[in-house]
Amino acid sequence: MSQFLQHRPLCLASSSPRRKMFLKKYGLQFDCHTPKINETPEKSESAKSFVKRMANEKALQVQRTYSKLAEDVIILAGDTIVYFDGKILGKPQSIQDARTMLTQFSGKTHQVFSGYSILDSSSGNQITDLVCTEVRFLKLDADLLEWYLNSKEPFDKAGAYSIQGLGAILVESISGSYSNVVGFPIECIIPNLTANGWISFAENTQHEVYT
Amino acid sequence: MSQFLQHRPLCLASSSPRRKMFLKKYGLQFDCHTPKINETPEKSESAKSFVKRMANEKALQVQRTYSKLAEDVIILAGDTIVYFDGKILGKPQSIQDARTMLTQFSGKTHQVFSGYSILDSSSGNQITDLVCTEVRFLKLDADLLEWYLNSKEPFDKAGAYSIQGLGAILVESISGSYSNVVGFPIECIIPNLTANGWISFAENTQHEVYT
């Protein structure tokens, strides 16, 4: 099993099981703290600016709030929104809200933006960036829509669906990063951590078995 | 949990854990049989024709071979290939073979084709079709490449990577179906099964809890 060597402690500023899953898949050790910030867009703030600001503020809020963090911790934060027809769509508040979101996606393309932020506590340096993916939905018939609404899956997901769950059969195609749609563009985050020397590729001890 | 009602027995003509996983995720019950066919492209056969023929033949071979199949079974088969620079790439035969494949993908776009075939044993009707996804790789540096080769993951995968595994960090973006790259375009297969009345969306009994 290929692993990473960790040279700095990591903290995930998120309680999202999907973000935890991405880091665990790569064998990374990390603490988790849930940021508490006001997640309301400012007047005339663009969706892209908003999602970057959210990721940025989540990392900073965790740094300020948790006094027991190691001084040299690297804090990782992410925020994901769904954008359609000029509107930012968060998690649905009711079944009707989820039905409205999914109905408007039917047969059309929407965008998913994930902002991510990597904060080096010891230097204060912070990298914040954004990934955008276009997601095209199949034309949803009423049976499929009601079946999906009844699966419980829509209710804690931005845009009311989970591409990695049962919602996979709603999606015709995507254009861009898949992990971004899941909620954490891991193909951006890990190279950033290695490029800064905070983690590194572990030496292999089993190479010969494949030659 | 939303489920499907099954009106016909299903048989998966594959031993791929990824294909099994897709059907299990949707709560479908099925038998598995491994088809044994000659997986060599014919002279001057195109990649698209080849992958459809493979899916088609896998379904038919399982139907012919397993005498204990129910008469009304629906047989599902799939075949996935990676296509780059005019060549069909299968599973790597050695670490050097995997290194060569991944090196040529670095910073470039290749295509993944999945053929799928759905055979109705009782009528003999067979639906066979194809899905194509473009996959763009990040520019792979030597450390990442060697780390990935040492993960064991490349060795039973067409094209020497797994997009749903550790290989997620090799992929910059995709254009098309994600499940196709995993190996089974489930968003094509399930609607086909429902449209033919072989499975249907189960009635919901818990609807009221979300209103």
Which pLDDT band, with edges at 50, 70 and 90, does B202 fall under? confident
Q: Flag whether the ipTM exceeds 0.85.
A: yes
Which pLDDT does position A209 carry in this prediction?
A: 37
Reported as a single tens digit per residue, the pLDDT across A61-73 is: 999 998 788 899 9
| Total domains in the fold of chain A | 1
Q: Identify all chain A residues contacting B138, using CB atoms and an 8 Å cutoff.
A: 187, 191
- B178 touches A at CB < 8 Å: yes
Residue A211 confidence (pLDDT) above 80: no
User: For A4-28, what is the mean pLDDT?
Assistant: 95
Please check whether residue B178 lies inside any domain of the structure: yes
Q: Identify all chain A residues contacting B25, using CB atoms and an 8 Å cutoff.
A: 165-166, 168
Please check whether residue B133 lies inside any domain of the structure: yes
What is the span of the domain harbouring residue B20?
4-205
Which pLDDT band, with edges at 50, 70 and 90, does B211 fall under? very low
Which of A152, A168, A201 has the CB atom closest to B179's CB atom? A168
Please check whether residue B152 lies inside any domain of the structure: yes
Reported as a single tens digit per residue, the pLDDT across B99-144 is: 999 999 999 999 999 999 999 999 999 999 999 999 999 999 999 9
Which residues numbered 84-143 in A keep a CB inside 8 Å of some CB on B? 94-96, 98, 133, 138, 143
The model's pTM is: 0.92
**CA A37/CA A61 separation, integer angstroms:** 7
DSSP conformational letter for B133: E
Residue among B4, B163, B102 at smallest CA distance from A182? B163
Please check whether residue B91 lies inside any domain of the structure: yes
Please check whether residue B210 lies inside any domain of the structure: no
Q: Which CATH number is A17's domain given?
A: 3.90.950.10
Q: Where are the alpha helices (DSSP H) in chain B?
A: 17-25, 47-65, 95-105, 142-149, 178-182, 186-195
Contact between B119 and B74 under an 8 Å Cβ cutoff? The reply is: yes
- A156 touches B at CB < 8 Å: no
Reported as a single tens digit per residue, the pLDDT across B16-67 is: 999 999 999 999 999 999 999 999 999 999 999 999 999 999 999 999 998 7
CB contact under 8 A, B147 and A201: yes
Share of chain B above pLDDT 70, in %: 95
Tell me if residue A79 is catalytic: yes
